[in-house]
Amino acid sequence: RRAMAVLRVRHCRALLYCRRAPPRCPACGGDLRGAGLANAPVRLPCPFRHGHGQPRAFLIRPSRGTFLHGYDGHGDLHVGITDSRGVVYNYDQEGVHRAGSGWEQCISIPLVQPDMWELLQQWDNLLEEFSLEEAWLPHRYEEQQHNCYTFALAFVNRVRQGRGRAALSKAEFTERFLLPRTTEASRYLALQQQLAHRDVYIVPLAEQEHDS
């Protein structure tokens, strides 16, 4: 299931978020239909992707439900790494899974640039060999210290070190790659929640932002 689109309209020192642009501004009563290009509705891009269509990526999804249906912003998250065909390698208390479904609504972080030709060719073999290592046997799983994130980040660092780059700590990877995406997703989910109960959600613009 997909969420309905969120539109943003800028008008009278406010941002109006809605599903369908109203003919008149609910904040000032002004006519929106002839308000000009600067006030035209803009569709906000959905931050969630069909994970199985995202090759060679780091994926995040809720452990239960999906981001748009059933996730309250506080539940556990699960992460995985896709191969070139969108199969998601992920680790839990049962060991490594190779999932061809179940990751249809994810935050996706691409891991390989199009010009990394050698890595593009090697990716699937590297991921499969990595997943077979003893570190990822079921009995090694530990919820806090040796989990799905440990597995995914260890593979990212294996690839980085193979290319002569320094390994990233969990904090570094989270700050550089995850936080920008998860912050965007949180804002989008907050707007979805607001629009579940009202037709228009109005956010006043700060004075300096209005004048800039």
Residue 57 lies in a domain: yes
100 and 160 part of one domain: yes
The candidate with the shortest Cα–Cα distance to 83, out of 105, 111, 106, is 111
Residue 181 lies in a domain: no
Residue 112 lies in a domain: yes
Residue 94 lies in a domain: yes
41 and 75 part of one domain: no
132 and 163 part of one domain: yes
Domain that holds residue 86: 51-168
Assign 109 to helix, strand or coil.
Answer: strand
102 and 30 part of one domain: no
- Number of alpha carbons in the 13 Å side-chain half-sphere of residue 30: 14
132 and 61 part of one domain: yes
Q: Which residues have C-beta within 8 Å of that of residue 111, sequence separation ≥ 6?
A: 56, 57, 58, 81, 156, 159
pTM confidence score: 0.87
67 and 36 part of one domain: no
Positive or negative torsion for Cα 173, 176, 179, 182: negative
83 and 15 part of one domain: no
Residue 190 CA to residue 13 CA, distance in Å, equals: 21
β-pair partners for 99 = 88
Whether 189 contacts 120, CB under 8 Å: no
114 and 25 part of one domain: no
pLDDT in tens, the chain (212 residues): 455 789 999 888 889 999 988 888 887 888 877 666 667 889 999 999 999 999 999 999 999 889 988 787 778 999 999 999 999 999 999 999 999 999 999 999 999 988 888 888 999 999 999 999 999 999 999 999 999 999 999 999 999 999 899 999 999 999 999 999 999 999 999 999 899 889 999 998 875 454 43
Number of separate domains in the chain: 2
16 and 106 part of one domain: no
120 and 22 part of one domain: no
Residue 70 lies in a domain: yes
Residue 138 lies in a domain: yes
